[in-house]
């Protein structure tokens, strides 16, 4: 199975990367590595994440306060959000309808 980022999730990923890289040089690249590890784990074991809502799961990113919210759509993992664990819960919910 492969994965893709919803356009808004890709923007969130870019914003978090820039924050970490600007404030802590090198940490932005480690963040991207952990995001990729998490996404690949989801691809291998799509049902491993905790169910957030029906058909939408979450997996926490190792060593960072972020989680990936995802769904399976047409045999592909769609990452709906790269969400900070302590900010604005459920802001991403309307993205499931547009995927």
- Give 29-88 pLDDT, tens digit per residue: 999 999 999 999 999 999 999 999 999 999 999 999 999 999 999 999 999 999 999 988
Q: Give the Å distances, CA to CA, from 9 to 25, 91.
A: 22, 12
| pLDDT: which is higher, 50 or 92 | 50
Cα 26 from Cα 66, distance rounded (Å): 17
pLDDT at position 6 is: 97
CATH number, domain 2-87, options 3.30.1490.20, 2.160.10.10, 3.10.310.30, 3.30.2310.20: 3.30.2310.20
Helix axes 7-23, 27-44, angle to 10 degrees: 150
Query: At residue 99, does pLDDT exceed 70?
Result: no
């Amino acid at each position: 199975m492969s994965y893709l980022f919803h356009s808004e999730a890709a923007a969130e990923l870019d914003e978090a990367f820039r924050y970490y890289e600007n404030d802590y040089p090198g940490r932005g690249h480690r963040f991207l590595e952990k995001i990729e590890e998490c996404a690949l784990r989801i691809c291998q074991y799509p049902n491993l994440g905790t169910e957030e809502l029906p058909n939408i799961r979450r997996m926490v990113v190792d060593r960072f306060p972020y989680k990936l919210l995802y769904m399976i759509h047409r045999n592909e993992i769609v990452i709906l959000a790269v969400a900070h664990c302590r900010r604005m819960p459920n802001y991403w919910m309307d993205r499931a309808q547009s995927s």
